[in-house]
Structure 1
Amino acid sequence: MSERPVIIIRRKKRGGEGHHGGAWKIAFADFMTALMALFLVLWMLANSGEAQKAAVAEYFRTPLVVALMGGDREGASENVIPGGGPDPTFAEGERFRIDPQLASRLVDEQERARLRQLERRIREALSINPILKELKDQILIDLTPEGLRIQLVDTEQRPMFEIGSARVAPYMRTLLRTLAPMLNELPNRIQISGHTDSLPYAGGEAGYSNWELSADRANASRRELIAGGLALEKLLRTSGMSDRIPFEGVAPNDAANRRIAVIVLDSRFADSILDQREYGPLPGTGDRQATDGAARVGTGPEAAKP
């Protein structure tokens, strides 16, 4: 029996160096697109103003649907027809409710942007004037619900007024007269309040006291602002608060309590003062007050006057 030759076939194994497919390229392209979009957004924010930045921040703070609907009731609903009407995607009844809310929010953002711009103008003016530059630690500026608040604070070394008096120090006069033209740049009304420390007068509150002193200092500041060019119609209110609102974080007798607060009022807050919403009657008391007023007609001693 003859032997057949043995045939051996050797196959080369391929591993590692072959083609891997194109899925990674798609993932990489998506990543680069997202990165480019990120840098584009950052570039746009860097070149936008305060109003645009505030609008972007508000957009990311509130979901779009909820913001448009003015709340989380209809806006968060999954119902296709949230408010009824001929248009299933945007009901006419919802349209008239949304537009005033968006307009009001836009007005608020624009006013806040103007107040921030005024704050920057004031800080720039203070940094330029060599006399006022020394007072930078005594001038505190911040935004409050009432508006832009400018506080002029005393120190033991540099008081804004003579001790126990409403006589304005020279640098305080320069500061107020510098502020006056800038306060005229906005149509907003102005409120001035005076504050004192808790050190009492010898006669207590029966005679001349911190109440009178704080009010006198507020009015002295008002006169200096007017002398600096502040428009008379911009002044809405001056008040003396005595020591009832101490400066945050200091002792009652600390010099920081002796201060003047000039507030550029938010227009809605000023309107609430003018139409007396700030002092409105308690709910349910309007009819009773009207009845009481009618009952008092002709009963006082003034009724005898011709």
Structure 2
Amino acid sequence: MAKPPQPIIIKKVKKAAHAHHGGAWKIAYADFVTAMMAFFLLMWLISMTTQEQKIGLAEYFAPAAPSPTTSGAGGVLMGTVLDKAGNKPSAPRDAARGTTGQDDKARPTNSGRASDREVSRPAAGVQANYSAIASLRQALQKMPEIAELSRNIVIEPTKEGLNVSLVDEYGRTMFPEGSVQPYERTRLVLEALAPTLRRLPNQLSVAGHTAAARPGSVQAVDSWSLTAGRALAVREILSGAGLPSNRFVSVVGRADTEPLFVDNPYTPPNRRVTITLLNAEPPLPPGVIP
């Protein structure tokens, strides 16, 4: 006797849908991952950058801060002066002398005027330096063909005046190795600076420097002759661009005696030619005894 066919039973299990959790956490997680990636990229760049490259970057992004007024109260510096200690508010005349107004009345007139000069002359020099920095940078910005050399041009105020240095960098030099004649790009930089230097009243000093020779290496050219020749070449280019010869007070080669980085005298940025705009004493008012 044949068995009757068994029915096929299909069991369907209905799963309950989970509640919607939202996607806000995904956005927050993506922001977190992006921030961490940017942080580690920044740390990697900092670790791969040398000290002289950091200095060059800081100099490149340092804003020029000339004040269009004589008082400085309404300009970019907001009535402050800059020195080696940082940005400090300019002290009143009495505080700069360390005395009170009553003490000044008891002092002789000539003594008070001499103190006024001591306070005003440094302020005038700082103001003139910042104006010169702005003029020189503006002259360079007008020539986009030398924009790649921005890291090779270092402009900084010093005690003697304002230094404009043509500095060698890793992978980019201003003079061929062992030669006193500069590259054409270096000549373009000097010719771009010459009109601004001619308008400024400062006397000029040109000094050539080089890096120290590593122990065991042999120099093909004497460093004294090399740095002196490069300084003379810079002076000749500036003179040919219209700068009067009587504006130069000295043209010297200093070899490796004054490294830019004392802790690493072998690094390429020690090879440089520096044009110094020397500070000038402001004229004394009539009747003032120096």
TM-score tier (shorter) = 0.5 to 0.7
Q: Look up the SS of the partner of 1:105 in the other structure.
A: helix
Counterpart for residue 212 of structure 1 = 225
User: C-alpha deviations, 1:110-157, integer Å up to 9, x for none?
Assistant: 232122111011112222311221101111111110111111111342
Which residue of 50, 62, 75 corresponds with 1:48? Answer: 75
Gaps of 5+ in 2: 1-70, 282-290
Counterpart for residue 227 of structure 1 = 240
Say if 1:51 and 1:110, in contact at 8 Å, map to a contact too.
Answer: no
Higher relative contact order (CA 8 A, sep 6+): 2
Letter in structure 1 aligned against 2:228? A
How many residues are matched?
209
Structure 2 matches for 1:51-130, cutoff 5 A?
52-54=79-81, 60-62=89-91, 64-67=93-96, 70=97, 72=98, 75=99, 82=103, 90-91=105-106, 93-130=107-144
Question: Which whole-Å CA distance do the structure 1 matches of 2:192 and 2:210 have between them?
Answer: 24
Please report the RMSD computed on the Cα atoms of aligned residues, expressed in angstroms.
Answer: 3.5
Counterpart for residue 174 of structure 2 = 160
Say if 1:247 and 1:256, in contact at 8 Å, map to a contact too.
Answer: yes
Rg: which structure is higher?
Answer: 1
Higher helix share: 1
Structure 1 residues 141 and 209: CA distance shift in structure 2, 3 A = same
Counterpart for residue 172 of structure 1 = 186
Structure 1 residues 130 and 59: CA distance shift in structure 2, 3 A = closer
User: C-alpha deviations, 1:136-192, integer Å up to 9, x for none?
Assistant: 111111111011111111134222111111011001001111111111222111011
Structure 1 residues 45 and 177: CA distance shift in structure 2, 3 A = closer
Question: Which whole-Å CA distance do the structure 2 matches of 1:45 and 1:125 have between them?
Answer: 24
Question: Which whole-Å CA distance do the structure 1 matches of 2:72 and 2:207 have between them?
Answer: 38
Structure 1 residues 97 and 238: CA distance shift in structure 2, 3 A = same
Say if 1:192 and 1:261, in contact at 8 Å, map to a contact too.
Answer: yes
Letter in structure 1 aligned against 2:250? R
Deviation of 1:211 after TM superposition, in Å, equals 0.8
Structure 1 residues 236 and 51: CA distance shift in structure 2, 3 A = farther
Say if 1:154 and 1:258, in contact at 8 Å, map to a contact too.
Answer: yes
Letter in structure 1 aligned against 2:278? L
Question: Which whole-Å CA distance do the structure 2 matches of 1:242 and 1:45 have between them?
Answer: 40
Gaps of 5+ in 1: 1-43, 83-88, 269-306
Structure 1 residues 179 and 250: CA distance shift in structure 2, 3 A = farther
Q: Normalising by structure 2, report the TM-score.
A: 0.62
Give aligned-pair identity as a percent: 26
Letter in structure 1 aligned against 2:74? N
